[in-house]
A and B are shown apart, each in its own frame.
Chain A
Amino acid sequence: MPDPLPEFECPPLNEVVIGVQFEPLKEFHAAHLGLYWSQIRHRYPFTEEQPPLAPQVEPPEVTARVPAISFQSGAFIPRSWFLDATKNELIQLQNDRFLRNWRQIEGTEAYPRFPLLIKRFEEEWESFLVFLNDQGLGRPSVNQCELIYINHLEPGSGWNDYSELEKVFTTLRTPGGSGFLPAPELLNWESRYKLPEERGRLHVQLQPVFRARDFKLILSFNLTARGSPEKNTEDEIFAWFHLAHEWVVKGFDQLTEPTMHQLWNKKQC
């Protein structure tokens, strides 16, 4: 039996994204976005238009990145957001992406937990597959899956400024007064870890952000697992998501300090 995952009653989670990328649907037109919305509008009554996301693939070996300019042939198809009545949950759709987000709006909403979010994603994904089939668009060929956890760390909750980040992170110690350097003015940190059997990577990122909802300067601690399922089947896709979830949760647990875990009410196994 696998080790139980660490569990936090009050994690600092602000947003969770569960999504798949697939080969572009050649016959998918902007009108299909509206057609799809008409089927889910009773549950997702609001819509917004966003620029499409660029394709993103996690390669087995990372090569040097060069600036790239992409040209799109044919008509432009945007990315649509379909938001539920609370705007806490949304579906993002474009001709090669299907994502579902849960997010805080007020900052006080309780995290619904992964089992519920992955269940809702699975239901919406299956419903989308039925829609594609009904429209004669075929079954999408999934080439990447993505699971993103966005944590918001506010000063005053276990740490006060950038000189105290060793109170939050097990891998970070920043200057802060006693040595030559002052506390950093800004701080960005990235690391990446290989998932087993070349099933993708876990990317960890710490970045300062200015949050619109309350005009607060905070730290965003992002864990992104990205990779491809072994086969384009529902079983393999969701097996990948469960592996990704394990890595995100155990990674978060290992990279953050036990004193912070107490603040987040980590459950004792």
Chain B
Amino acid sequence: MLNDTLEFGVTSRNLPALGTEPYRGQQPWGMLVQQTAISGGTLVLTGNTASWVLDAAKKLEALGKLPAGWDSYGGLPLDSNAKMLTVSVLGWLGRNDLPVPAVVLGSAGTVQLEWRAKGKELEVELGKDNAVEFVKVYPNGDVEEGEEKANLPQRLRGLTRWLLYD
């Protein structure tokens, strides 16, 4: 899952003040929902938006400018579904105090977000089929992989809870 990717700035700075922002606002709907009459396609940034979201958006903005073949091996530009899913993920997790993720572009046009905290690492790959593949790396080096296709907001919050608190 993690092969053929372009690292775009690894950082684990801005480690969170743990426990300050519990996981609130459970989203009962699975995917890409709109709570307003506007049909969407944007993530609104407010005074409550965590700094890591803004930093991640800036990294993604730079990634979004890469043309096809960016990796010299025919790497595809970002897939439109992957873009929409990525923006949704930032929205679902935007009130949680996560570190700034490393943002990585996969050669299939997917987006990877990688967080590191408390000796653990969480990588999620956001693909064109609206599925999320994840890798959890434990402090002792054990690796757990999986895929989520439903209830993504809750599943992703569960993964970040593992990273920050478990």
Please give, as numbers and ranges, the residues of chain B lying within 8 Å of A186 by CB-CB distance: 45-47, 49, 54
How would residues 77 to 88 of chain B score, 1 for a CB under 8 Å from any chain A CB and 0 otherwise?
A: 010100110110
B41 touches A212 (CB 8 A): yes
Q: Which of B15-23, B28-36, B140-148 contacts A (4 or more CB under 8 A)?
A: B28-36
Number of interface residues of B (CB under 8 A): 31
**A150 adjacent to chain B (CB < 8 Å):** yes
A213-B38 contact, Cβ under 8 Å, with A185-B54, A186-B47, A186-B54: no
Within B40-58, the residues touching A (CB, 8 Å) are 41-47, 49, 54, 57-58
Q: In the complex, what residues of A have CB within 8 A of residue B34's CB?
A: 50
Contacts of B80 in A (CB 8 A): 212-213
Would B49 and A207 count as touching, CB distance under 8 A? no
State whether A51 touches B39 (Cβ < 8 A). Answer: no
Q: Contact: B45 with A208, CB < 8 Å?
A: yes
A99-B83 CB under 8 A given contacts A185-B54, A207-B44, A210-B43: no
Query: B45: which of A90, A146, A207 is its contact (CB, 8 Å)?
Result: A207
Q: Is A215 in contact with chain B by the CB < 8 A criterion?
A: yes
CA distance A50 to B61 in the complex (A): 28
What's the dominant secondary structure at chain A's contact region? strand
Let me know if A17 and B38 touch, CB within 8 A. yes
Chain A residues with CB under 8 Å of B83's CB are 212-215
Contact status B37-A148, CB under 8 Å: yes
Contacts of A92 in B (CB 8 A): 37, 39
Total residues of chain A contacting the partner, CB 8 A: 32
Q: Which A residues touch B45, using CB under 8 A? A: 186, 207-210
Q: Is B102 an interface residue (CB 8 A)?
A: no
Distance between Cα atoms of A90 and B39 in the complex (Å): 9
Q: Give A214 to B57 CA distance when docked, in angstroms.
A: 11
Whether A215 lies near B60 (C-beta < 8 A) is yes
